[in-house]
Structure 1
Amino acid sequence: MRIVGICRYSLLGRGDWHAYRGKTDAEVEAVAREQAKLLFAKDRMNARLESFEHLTLASLRAQTDQDYTFIVLASEMMPKIYRDKLLSLCKDMPNVLVRFFPLSNAIEAQAKVYTELGLTYRDTVQFRLDDDDCLCRTFIQMLRYHAEKFDEPLPFAISVSSFLYAVSGGSGKGVYDWQTPFLGAGAAVWHPHKSIYAFGHFALGVRFP
C-alpha cells in the first residue's frame, strides 16, 4: 500500500469555494483571475513559501518513514518567480512532486498526476495537507501502521486528532492543543476509486470506519 499526500498550493479553478457555485466555465475563469490577484500578491506568496519551507517540507524531511509520495498541485497562473522558488524548495526531495495546471479542481489535477505516475486509488492511502500545515515526525509511520489493520475492499478513514495550533498575532496569540478529529491537516482515506477531495474532511469520520 503506497502512501500519497496531496497539497493544493494556490490551485485555481472550479473548487469548493462558495464563489464558484453555480457558475459557468467563463464565469469561473473570471472569478479565478480575480482570485489570482489575491493569491499571488507578493506579501502573501512570500509568507506561504516561508511556511511551506519551514513547516510543511521540514516536517516531511523529518519523517521516520520516508516511503511516501507528496504531490503539490499548483496553478499555471502563478507568476514565474514564485513557480521557480516553489520548485527550488522541493528539488532535493525526490518524493515531493510539483505539478502546475491550467484552471482545474484538485480532483481533476490529482487524477492527471496519478495517471502520469501509474498510480491507482485502490493502491494508495491518501492524505491531505495544506501549505501552512505540518506533520509530527512519525505521521507516515503511524498512518501505514493503522492502514494495514483495515481489511479491503471497504473504504476507511484515519485521523490523528491532536493538533498544535499556533496563532501568531492578535488577542488570541499563542499555541493551543486542539483536539479535533478529521481536521483537514493529515486527514487520510482509502477509497477504491475516489480522491480524498471528493469528501469534506469532517465527513470522512462519519461516512467511513
Structure 2
Amino acid sequence: MQVIGLCRFSYPAEGGFQIEHDSIEERTAFLYAAERLEERLALFEAICLPGLKAQTDPDFTFVILVGDSLPAQTLSRLLELTADMPQARIVAEPPAPHRKVCQKVLNEARLDPDEPCLQFRHDDDDAVAVDFVACLRAAAADCAPLLGKHRLVGFDWGSGWLIRADANGLSGEPVSHPYWGVAQAMAVKGGVRQSVMNFGHQKINQHMPTVTFNDPPMFLRGHNGFNDSRQKRHVKPHPLPRLDAAGEAEIQARFAVDANHVRAVFAS
C-alpha cells in the first residue's frame, strides 16, 4: 500500500493557521520573514529530515508543499537538503484554501487513486521515529478488516517527546498527547478523494474509527518561538530540561536526531 506524507513548508494558505492575518500578503510576509525562514530551515534540517531519511521502510513518498512565491534562496536550500532523499518531492502552489490545496496535492501524489493508500501529515519542525512507516504499514495490515469496512480509518501514536533545539543542543521531556497531529496517519480507501488534511488532527476520531497506540515513543514535537500555536497572546512558556548525554543518545537511537548536528546547524 502506498504511503504518502505531506509537509507544508511555510505555505501561505488561506486558513489553516491558528494565528489570523488580515490578508494573504500579510500572512506571506510573516511566513517569509528572514529570521523565521532561517529557523524553519534549521529545524527542517536538524529535526525533521533525519528520521525520515533513516526510515527502516524507505518505501514512501514525502511531499513538501511550498508557496510559488517562496524566496529563491529558501527553495534552493530545500532542494539541497533533500537531494539525498529519493522519497522527497517539492510541490509549489499559489495561495489557496488550506484543505482544498492539501487534498489536491495529496491526491496528485497517489500512484493509483483507485487503490487504497496511507497518508500522514508532518510539520517541518517535528520528527517521527525511524520505524514510523514500518509501524504504520503493520498497523494497517493488522486492521485489514476494519479498513475493508470503512472509507477512512485513522491511526495515532500518542507517545513521544516535546523537544527544543538550539545552539546548545536539545532540551526536552517525554509526553503523552494523543491526536497531536504528529505520528498521525489515515488509511484512505481506493476511489476516496478526501485526505488526512481534510480533518482537524484533534477531531479525527469524530469523523472515522481510529486506532491509537501508547507505545513505543513515535514523535518529537518541536517547541520553538515560531510555532503557530505559540503566536497567540497569553501563551505561557514551557521550560524544558536540557538533555544529558544519555538523553541525547536515546533521541538519536530512536529518531536519528544527532545533538551534535543540532548544535552545528544552530551555531551557524
For normalisation by structure 1, the TM-score amounts to 0.85
Give the whole-Å Cα distance in 2 for the aligned partners of 1:73 and 1:149: 31
Deviation of residue 127 (structure 1)?
A: 0.5
Deviation of residue 181 (structure 1)?
A: 1.0
Q: Say if 1:112 and 1:136 are closer, same or farther in 2 by CA, change over 3 A.
A: closer
Task: Output aligned runs, 1:4-153, within 5 Å.
Answer: 4-17=4-17, 31-104=23-96, 105-112=98-105, 114-115=107-108, 118-120=111-113, 122-150=115-143, 151=145, 152-153=148-149
Deviation of residue 206 (structure 1)?
A: 3.6
Answer yes or no: is the 8 Å Cα contact 1:19–1:31 preserved in 2.
no
Q: Which runs of 5+ in 2 are unaligned?
A: 210-268
Alpha-carbon displacement from aligned partner over 1:151-203 (angstroms, at most 9, x marks no partner): 2241211111102002458xxx9412110111111211123331111111011
1:145 is paired with a residue of what secondary structure? helix
2:4 is paired with a residue of what secondary structure? strand
Provide the residue aligned with 2:199 in structure 1: 199
For normalisation by structure 2, the TM-score amounts to 0.67
Give the whole-Å Cα distance in 2 for the aligned partners of 1:174 and 1:19: 25
Alpha-carbon displacement from aligned partner over 1:102-157 (angstroms, at most 9, x marks no partner): 11225324424533654428521111110000011111110000011222241211
Answer yes or no: is the 8 Å Cα contact 1:11–1:74 preserved in 2.
yes
Give the whole-Å Cα distance in 2 for the aligned partners of 1:121 and 1:108: 20
Give the whole-Å Cα distance in 1 for the aligned partners of 2:109 and 2:164: 38
Percent identity of paired positions between Structure 1 and Structure 2:
27
Provide the residue aligned with 1:175 in structure 2: 172
Root mean square deviation, CA, Å: 2.3
Deviation of residue 19 (structure 1)?
A: 6.8
Letter in 2 for 1:136: A
Alpha-carbon displacement from aligned partner over 1:14-56 (angstroms, at most 9, x marks no partner): 1233677xxxxxxx9x711111111111111111111111111
Provide the residue aligned with 1:24 in structure 2: none
Provide the residue aligned with 1:190 in structure 2: 187
Answer yes or no: is the 8 Å Cα contact 1:121–1:193 preserved in 2.
no
Alpha-carbon displacement from aligned partner over 1:74-98 (angstroms, at most 9, x marks no partner): 1012111111111111122111111
- Structure 1 range deviating more: 35-44 or 124-133: 35-44
Give the whole-Å Cα distance in 1 for the aligned partners of 2:15 and 2:184: 19
